[in-house]
Amino acid sequence: MNHYSFEDFLEIVARLRGEDGCPWDKVQTHESLREALLEEAYEAVEAIEKKDTPNLCEELGDILLQVVFHADIEKDAGNFDMTHVIDGICQKMIYRHPHIFGTAQASTP
């Protein structure tokens, strides 16, 4: 069984939104995808509440699609791409955890 990588996923989304891609995907905007983003988040929460691990896996993929899709829209606009999103969240996590990535000490969760 083949397994796809994150890079494969980025290429799939880019192809869907590309010149010869899906007509629906090509015309989507942040605003048109707003409800889908919220719906996928709620569906992931519902899977967590039901302790439905297989469904949670699927819903997390749907949320990831939303993140990549929005980043691809911005890439096309020349503003940022998925590497900027990843860089930003990495910087934020390192900054928020000086007890792991720095010299600060933490004694409680």
Q: What backbone phi and psi angles, to 5 degrees, belong to 3?
A: -120, 135
Return the pLDDT at 9: 98
Res 106: pLDDT: 85
Give the pLDDT of residue 23: 97
pTM above 0.85, yes or no: yes
Question: Do the Cβ atoms of 74 and 85 come closer than 8 Å?
Answer: no
Do 10 and 68 contact (CB within 8 A), yes or no? yes
The pLDDT, as a whole number, for residue 39 is: 98
Which residue ranges in the chain fall short of pLDDT 70? Answer: none
For residue 1, the model assigns a pLDDT of: 84
Which pLDDT score, from 0 to 100, does residue 11 have?
A: 97
Tokens of 78: 């020349």
- Structure tokens given for 103: 């010299």
Q: Which whole-number Å values give the CA distances from 84 to 71, 73, 76, in the listed order?
A: 9, 13, 14
Q: What local confidence, expressed as pLDDT, does residue 107 receive?
A: 84
What is the identity of the amino acid at 105?
Q
| Rounded-to-integer distance, Cα 63 and Cα 37, Å | 7
